[in-house]
Amino acid sequence: MLLFRKRPEMPSPAETLPGRPQPIPTSERHFVNGNPLKGPYPEGIETIVLGLGCFWGAERKFWQLPAGVYVTAVGYAGGTTPNPTYEEACSGLTGHTEAVLVAFDPAVLPLESVLKTFFESHDPTQGYRQGNDVGTQYRSGIYTADEAQAATARRVRDAYATALAAKGYGPITTEIAPLDRFYFAEGYHQQYLAKNPGGYCGLGGTGVSCPVGSGVAAAE
């Protein structure tokens, strides 16, 4: 990834890049399971968009779950520039974070379990960075399809915040917001670490277990 492009704050409206009206070309199908990247997805499949640092390693965390994931894709979320390129997103001038679209079957894989993987796969207390990857494009984020997802995200976040605090970590900085748009990244980024098994992955968790399914509930 582009390790040395660092921007410590979100761009102002005057700085934001203009983007383009047409989507960036991407892959049609998932490199690992062959399912259509952009859908249509089968009935009952839900989607959520998650930012947890370098999207190459982040996406792999979800397609490797043992059951319940229909498809994953990488792209850009949480910003304002329409249809950004990878280079534009990495400049910090689009407002986007690198993100993973997870299409999953909640009857097989509950959202709480998706979010457990999300929180345990990175350090959600680092603000605009993940390890050596520094910049607003590496911020932690959960971009939800509806209020039910948002409520679940807040519950899981609050439960994990308690677990992290007990181990000496600071507050969680994860952004939780309704998804405005998810822009699919260029085709070569999709399932990058399946195509390039020795490729860069800067993802690292805290080692603290997220107490989902253990009877721990956080107040709204």
Q: Which of 63, 127, 140, 131 is nearest to 99 (CA)?
A: 140
Can you give the C-alpha Rg of the chain in angstroms? 16
Burial of 201 (0-12, 13-18, 19+ CB in 10 A): middle
In sequence order, the 6+-apart residues with CB closer than 8 A to the CB of 43 are none
CA atoms within 13 A on the CB side of 185: 27
Residues forming the active site: 54
Coil, strand, or helix at residue 60? helix
